Amino acid sequence: MPYFRLFSAQLAIGAAAIFARYALTGAGPLAVSALRLILAALPLAVLALLARPRVRLSRKREVAFALAGLALALHFAAWIGSLLYTSVAISTLLVTTTPLFTESYDALVERRIPGREYLVAVALAFAGVALIASQHATPAPVPGQALLGNALALGGAIAIAAYLLIVRSAGARPLSGPPLPTRQIVARTYGWAALVLTVLALFTHQTPPPLGDAASWFGILAMALVSQLLGHTALNAALRTFTPSVVSLTTLLEPLIAALLAAALFREGLSLATIVGGALVLAAVALTLRSTNLPPLAGQPPVANPG
């Protein structure tokens, strides 16, 4: 079940690139991101309000979830903004450097030195993503602004790393206090992210697509219900079982999933480099999960994975 949750999350999130093609035909990136979070947060907020017993948290944990929501909003804003200044290939490569930041945090703050297998997996994964990205390179939209675009994409990677680390320590497996149900975590973080993105969209005068624009609204609804509500929520739930470093490394599957879906839906060819790159990413994820120790069930001793 933990592995199914983790991989289904990546499949749903990987499909976001396909849905975005439709969504961005009728609205700007910040408006699309804000609507995506609003539509995903609304049903979760209702469920959280109706939940019994009501969950009461300390101010410290509530502030942590607000910061996590801010980090999630900055991730979407920075990554989508990077696409205006740099190529899709470079943006994709830089925004998937999240494992470097989660693992650096573990090493510098938590004093947990990464194992050899994890370092090998990271090297394989980045080599694979680089091969995939090189086959989908497009010219930068604004010549001469690549440095700004690259910085925004890197900022998006740092922001989602911060989100995973905050949610892990404040909600999924907190250092103090009981774990919070996933629906309660995402109701809070999605709500704060939606608020921040709405303010940014209003500030930049980005409006929703016309009601008659069926293609754009399909893309937005699919991103909200599939990629966000199912995908990102399952990713949050995976933090109960896996470390942020493992979860962030599996996000490197997303470019591969997007390429496979584009080939199936839009008949975009799969080059040999894309296939080899995909194989490297899959090998990296398999190596990481093979060396991961799942937490024990209640009343049972921990069980190490083979190898």
Q: What DSSP assignment string belongs to 193-231?
A: HHHHHHHHHHHTT--PPPTT-HHHHHHHHHIIIIIIIII
pLDDT for res 306: 27
Q: Which domain holds residue 181?
A: 2-290
How many structural domains comprise the chain?
1
Phi, psi values for residue 131, rounded to 5°: -65, -45
CA 184 – CA 147 distance, rounded (Å):
38
User: Which phi-psi region, left, alpha or beta, contains residue 299 (left: φ > 0; alpha: ψ -120 to 50)?
Assistant: left
Is 302 part of a structural domain of the chain? no
% residues pLDDT > 70 (the chain): 84
pLDDT of residue 172: 58
Residue 57 within any structural domain of the chain = yes
- Read off the tokens for 146: 């690549």
pLDDT value at residue 159:
95
Q: pTM here?
A: 0.78
Q: Taking 90 as the threshold, does the pLDDT of residue 162 lie above it?
A: yes
Give a yes or no: residue 151 inside a domain: yes
Where residue 259 falls among pLDDT bands split at 50, 70, 90? confident
pLDDT at 144: 61
Asked if residue 300 has pLDDT above 60, the reply is: no
* Domain assignment of residue 232, yes or no: yes
Lowest model confidence (mean pLDDT) among 86-90, 134-138, 231-235? 134-138
Q: d(Cα 108, Cα 297) in Å, to the nearest integer?
A: 30
Please report whether residue 304 resides in a domain: no
Which one has a higher pLDDT value, 187 or 14? 187
Q: Decide if 210 is inside a domain.
A: yes
Least confident among 42-46, 58-62, 89-93, 251-255 = 89-93
> What is 106-137 written as a DSSP string?
HHHTS--PPPHHHHHHHHHHHHHHHHHHHTT-
Instruction: Let me know if residue 303 belongs to a domain.
Output: no
Within-domain flag for 306: no
Q: Mean of the pLDDT values across residues 152-165?
A: 90
